[in-house]
Amino acid sequence: NIPDEMGRLTKLQVLAMEVKRLVGTMPSSIFNISSMVALNVALNQLRGRLPSDLGVTFTNLEFLGLTENLFTGYIPISISNASKIRRLCIDGNKFTGKVPPLEKLHELQWLCFEDNQLGTGEVGDLSFLSSLTNATNLVYVGLRNNSFGGKLPESVSNFSRNLNLLLLDNNKIFGSIPTGIGNLVKLQQIELWENQFTGNIPADIGKLQELLILRLSNN
């Protein structure tokens, strides 16, 4: 277990524990360390829920790494208040529900939400993507292997021109592929397979001269 006493390290800035052997819950006191810049507990067996005020207390946080644990519950609405976050990696857990708006995360570069139980399979699941148009340094959006439904918003075409990877496969997304996707000139990989997309493949995809991988199967 992570000892509760670690929450007394009130000036702690970096907590990195990628050791594959940690179990139990994260002490709530750790989430109150306002000086925290990087919290990485990836590749463990930690469980529990994230506190609702996470983004209020972690105002200096730049990296949150919870990859491949057993966390459950909702992504806190307050996460958008942690406006300095560059990498938000919660992939490989059991998070559920809708993703809240992320409009204040202007510094965001990596959004890793893969391999969870996010979304409801219904209209509006992906509305939060429209709030990411303010993240001008965004290079990675990973939402694969969830339960996201609804349409892929046209606002995706207004994402950062630095975007390299768009991973949306194995969800329940329907409707057409946004026609302006060709604006994302640095895209190297687009994964839209195992969804319910219909209609034509946009001619704009032909503008993506750096594209290496395009997967549209099983739509």
pLDDT of 105-127, one tens digit each? 999 999 999 999 999 999 999 99
Kindly provide the b/e burial profile for residues 74-96, where b requires at least 16 CB atoms within 10 angstroms of the residue's own CB: ebbebbbbbbbbbbbbbbbbebb
Q: Helices (H), strands (E): how many in the chain?
A: 1, 17
Residue 154, φ and ψ in degrees, nearest 5: -60, -25
Q: What predicted TM-score, i.e. pTM, was given to this entire model? A: 0.95
69: region left, alpha or beta (phi > 0 left; psi from -120 to 50 alpha): beta
Query: What share of the chain has pLDDT > 70, as a percent?
Result: 100
- Nearest-10 Cα torsion for 110, 114, 119, 123: 70
pLDDT-based confidence at residue 98 (cuts at 50, 70, 90): very high
| 24-49: pLDDT as tens digits | 999 999 999 999 999 999 999 999 99
CB-based contact 80:58 (threshold 8 Å): no
Q: What is the mean pLDDT of the chain?
A: 96
Can you give the length of the chain in residues? 219
CA 205/CA 184 separation, integer angstroms: 9
Question: Does residue 80 surpass a pLDDT of 90?
Answer: yes
Q: Give the list of residues 6+ apart from residue 177 with CB closer than 8 angstroms, or none.
A: 152, 192, 197, 199, 201, 202
CB-based contact 82:107 (threshold 8 Å): no
Question: Does residue 63 surpass a pLDDT of 90?
Answer: yes
Tokens, residue 99: 């993703």
94-97 and 70-73 beta bridge pairing: parallel
Q: Hunting for tokens 């606002």 — which residue is that?
A: 155
DSSP-derived 3-state class of residue 18:
coil
Question: Does residue 182 surpass a pLDDT of 90?
Answer: yes
